[in-house]
Amino acid sequence: MKFVDEAYIDVSAGDGGAGCVSFRHEKYKEFGGPNGGDGGRGGHVFAVADPNLNTLVDYRFSRRHDAQRGQHGMGSDMFGAAGEDITLKMPVGTIISDAETGEVLFELLKPGEVITIAKGGDGGFGNLRYKSAINRAPRQKTPGWPGEKRNLKLELKVLADVGLLGMPNAGKSTLITAISNARPRIADYPFTTLHPNLGVVRVGPEQSFVVADLPGLIEGASEGAGLGHLFLRHLQRTRLLLHVVDMAPFDDGVDTVAQAKAIVNELKKYDTALYKKPRWLVLNKLDMVPAEEREALVKDFVKRLKFKGPVFEISALTREGCESLIKAVYKHISAQQKIELAPEVIDPRFAEPIGPDASH
């Protein structure tokens, strides 16, 4: 299935039905009184987060989504039926924003979450509503209220704890295959990965995290070069970035340090918040480097890159070093989750007194 992570749609909630002007007409009852009912409510447009979806491709070719209008009121005290609602299924992680202003309206972050993206109009009042002691035969009614109409932009940002970034052919797909249940297509040429792949890494019983393998970045990605710029947004929700570096490139003339610096520079150009996220260095394909040369090669690389964070030496192909990497990642992710879920600590010296008898 084609991966689509951006789409534009037009949604229209149903208009409310109009109220009715009607009077009872029965034999021997000359003044039966008003009996015109209200119009029905227009249908709403809902969005639900479906964990079984991972792309917005359904909305690339189906742009208009209209809910049913409410039924008009009728005589004999009959109110109009409400219009039928429609529910749009979207992947978890979808951001819904106004297509014209760019304002973010909703975010679907939890599986099964339901939101109202367009509210149906209320039905109009029939003349039954206007009956009073001084107005025995009202002829007033109101039309239904219009339903909301919106032009929306849908943007998908995958929900992953860890994001893999690096140049094409750095071994990111091989790494996600080695540590998770994801099975992306792998080949010995650049740009094998054409869309994000998500994998669940099992560390132990009830211990896991989600990792995302994104298409490779190249220099100029933030301006649109290559494929990586299309998917940089998917890194914005991750808690940790793993910068995968190919330590044994096919071309001996390739400067791996310059490539690594180019990746970091593209992150900074695209989003400073993304650039400031925790980022670890994963030196891959060390199985292709002679054992006696590894230590010197790694030290020289880290020194020239001037990298201060954690560094892991692995081989995704042979899985050497992968176990220690995923244990360290899980420990970091767990610590981050505890910080995010911790209640705000308030110094009791500055706490507000609570209760009606509180004195200041």
Token pair recorded at residue 255: 């400067």
pTM of the prediction? 0.67
CB 248 within 8 A of CB 209: no
- 156, 185, 201 — which closes off a domain? 156
Does the residue 355 lie in any domain? no
Residues 130 and 168 in one domain: no
Closest to 141 measured CA to CA, from 150, 130, 155: 130
Does the residue 97 lie in any domain? yes
Q: Give the domain CATH number at 98.
A: 2.70.210.12
- 121, 156, 191 — which closes off a domain? 156
- Tokens 């409310």: give the residue: 16
Tens-binned pLDDT, residue by residue, of the chain (360 aa): 445 578 899 999 999 999 999 988 877 777 778 989 999 999 999 999 988 887 788 888 889 999 999 999 998 889 999 999 999 999 888 999 999 998 999 999 888 999 999 999 999 999 988 888 888 889 899 999 999 999 999 988 777 888 888 887 778 888 888 887 656 554 444 444 456 777 788 887 778 888 888 765 555 544 544 444 556 777 777 889 999 988 888 777 778 888 888 888 888 887 788 888 899 999 998 888 888 888 899 999 999 988 888 999 988 888 898 899 989 999 998 888 777 666 554 455 444 444 444 443
CB 90 within 8 A of CB 35: no
Collapsed DSSP state (helix, strand, coil) of residue 234: helix
- 156, 183, 206 — which closes off a domain? 156
Helix 172-179 and helix 322-341: axis angle, to 10°?
Answer: 80
Q: Which range of residues forms the domain containing residue 270? A: 162-341
CB neighbour class for 236 (10 Å; exposed up to 12, middle 13-18, buried from 19): middle
Residues 335 and 224 in one domain: yes
| Distances from the Cα of 287 to the Cα of 23, 72, 209, 297, 316, angstroms | 90, 75, 26, 13, 9
